[in-house]
Amino acid sequence: MARIIGVVSGKGGVGKTTLVSNLGVALAQEGADVAIVDANLTGANLGLHFGLISYPASIHDVMKENAALPDVMYKHPSGVDIIPSSLSMEDVTTEPKNIRAAFDEHLSDKDFVLVDCATGLDRETLTALEMCDEVLLVTHPELPTISDALRTKTLAKEYNKKLLGVVLNRVNRRDEMKIENVASFFDLPVIAAIPEDSSIRKSIEAKNPVILNNPNHKVSREIRKVSDYLSGKARRREKTLTDKIIDLFRW
């Protein structure tokens, strides 16, 4: 059964789409079967991060019952299946329906389905949350952005979604909030702190996720922390270390 994870934030500009695109690739590199979905139905751009600019059908066609979900899945060379939203202004008013049913019918054999949710607290965000079972919060470590993300957390809890943790993005030395303070604000673990870096802008311009464009970069290493967390790899590694310490004291 697929884990359907919504990647959400309280406001735009925190790098949510960049995280979804790179995290999808990171999970695929570990052998997972991954689909990424653009649920920003009025502001689509997830496909653009992979150079997917022109495509015959999108998730809007699924909502209009003009296509089945497999018809709007595009395989990237990294192994990730991309399900884009329409770039056409004509589709902006399409009623958001049929999506979760399509997930259950066609994506249940995936390991992960990452949903790039719309920002804010309007109907589009609620629709995206309804698609998901679990939620990953993305924020910048500054008070106004965190305040917006906290409201989104409250909304996710009201929808009975499992809260996985927080990813800090676009972090720089001038940020006033420390990781431990952010964790206490949300009462959730901070999984990774992705630095603000020009490599991200360059990778977007190259239409190639930074984890492919520059796999050894500190940005890529932080993204892999999120991948390891979701896949359980980080917990297995921690357990192994704990077991070694216990074994030492047994003697």
Q: Which residue has tokens 């924020």?
A: 139
For strands 81-83 and 74-75, give the pairing: antiparallel
pLDDT in tens, 166-201: 999 999 887 757 888 889 989 999 999 999 999 999
Tell me, what's the pLDDT at 150?
94
Count how many domains the chain has.
1
Tell me, what's the pLDDT at 119?
83
Q: Which residue has tokens 């719309």?
A: 118
- Domain assignment of residue 155, given as a range: 3-250
User: What average pLDDT does this structure show over 59-81?
Assistant: 96
The yes-or-no verdict on residue 249 having pLDDT over 70 is no
Question: How far apart, in whole angstroms, are the C-alpha atoms of residue 169 and residue 54?
Answer: 29
Query: What SS3 class is residue 113?
Result: strand
Question: How far apart, in whole angstroms, are the C-alpha atoms of residue 209 and residue 122?
Answer: 29
CATH number, position 93: 3.40.50.300
pLDDT in tens, 201-219: 999 999 999 999 999 999 9
Question: How far apart, in whole angstroms, are the C-alpha atoms of residue 165 and residue 223?
Answer: 14
Contacts of 13 (CB under 8 A, 6+ apart): 140
* pTM confidence score: 0.91
If you average pLDDT over every residue of the chain, what do you get? 90
For strands 34-39 and 74-75, give the pairing: unpaired
User: What average pLDDT does this structure show over 12-16?
Assistant: 89
In one-letter notation, the amino acid at residue 13 is G
CA angle 38, 204, 130 (to 5 degrees): 15
pLDDT in tens, 99-109: 999 999 999 99
Tell me, what's the pLDDT at 238?
52
Single out the residue of 127, 113, 138 nearest to residue 19, CA to CA. 138
For residues 167 and 138, the answer to whether their CB atoms sit within 8 Å is yes
